Amino acid sequence: MSVFGKLFGGGGKGGKGPSAQEAIQKLRETEEMLTKKQEFLEKKIDQELITAKKNGTKNKRAALQALKRKKRYEKQLTQIDGTLSTIEFQREALENANTNTEVLKNMGFAAKAMKAAHENMDIDKVDDLMQDITEQQELAQEISDAISKPVGFGDEFDEDELLAELDELEQEELDKNLLEIGGTENVPLPNVPSTSLPSRPVFSAKKEDEDEHAMEDLQRWAMEAN
């Protein structure tokens, strides 16, 4: 069995492959294990470095052995770094694939729900329904208009007939006024007063002669005075 087969719990050829979630979980566990291995190797490298320094002048052989072990640990550490990078890449790819799978699954679920909602509906039924709604709205408006009109104020009469009758009444009134104005020409004059007017005073001939003689005397006096 391969290493990945062991990690993911794979079996024989006929075995069912792991799910994305199971694979992601296994990769995370492997990352955790390798991270701990890194920490262990880093500590071992530090210890071997201390040993090499300690025996550098006293025991050269022990110092060289410590440096060799240090090199092996460093090589393992480098390999683990590469493995962790590969696993991290694979885990992120699986997480993205799992996200896309969930998104597509939910979209498919929503599409099925929409299809089920529209299963008993078609465009003709929708058009008929909208037409019925429009007719009911128009009927409601007509009812509202009818209710808002005053009741018993001559709705049973023809407005044109009423206007014609009104014109006749106005014409009759106009004719009547004209007749009254024309009739004033035949109004009888007031009666002549029965009492006689005062007569002009009549002066006697004697009075006139006296006045004439007086005028002549006045003129004569005026001439003598000049």
Q: Residues near 97 by Cβ (< 8 Å), separated by ≥ 6? A: 20
Residue written as token pair 């679920």: 109
Return the pLDDT at 43.
94
C-beta atoms surrounding 28 within 10 Å: 14
Q: Which domain holds residue 74?
A: 21-117
pLDDT of 191 reads 60
Q: How many residues does the chain have?
A: 226
Question: Distance between CA 132 and CA 124 in Å, rounded?
Answer: 12
**N-to-C CA span, the chain:** 186
Choose among 92, 76, 6, 71: nearest CA to 34.
Answer: 76
Give the pLDDT score at 12. Answer: 47
- The whole-number pLDDT of residue 89 equals 94
Q: Could you tell me if 95 and 22 are in contact, meaning their C-beta atoms sit under 8 angstroms apart?
A: no
DSSP string, 34-70: HHHHHHHHHHHHHHHHHHHHHTTTT-HHHHHHHHHHH
What CA–CA distance (Å, rounded) separates 90 from 30?
A: 12
Integer Rg of the chain from CA = 69
CATH number, residue 74: 1.10.287.1060
The pLDDT of residue 154 is 52
**What's the domain count of the chain?**
1
pLDDT for 106 equals: 92
Neighbour-count burial for 73-111, b at 16+ CB within 10 Å, e otherwise: beebbeebeeebeebeeebeebbeeeeeeeeeeeeeeee
pLDDT digits (tens, 9 = 90+) for 103-121: 998 999 898 888 888 777 7
Q: How many other CB atoms are there within 10 angstroms of residue 171's CB atom?
A: 10
Q: Within the chain, which residues score under 50 in pLDDT?
A: 1-4, 7-8, 11-12, 202-203
The set of long-range contacts for 79-85, using a CB threshold of 8 Å and a minimum separation of 24, is 80/34, 80/37, 80/38, 80/41, 81/38, 83/34, 84/31, 84/34, 84/35, 84/38
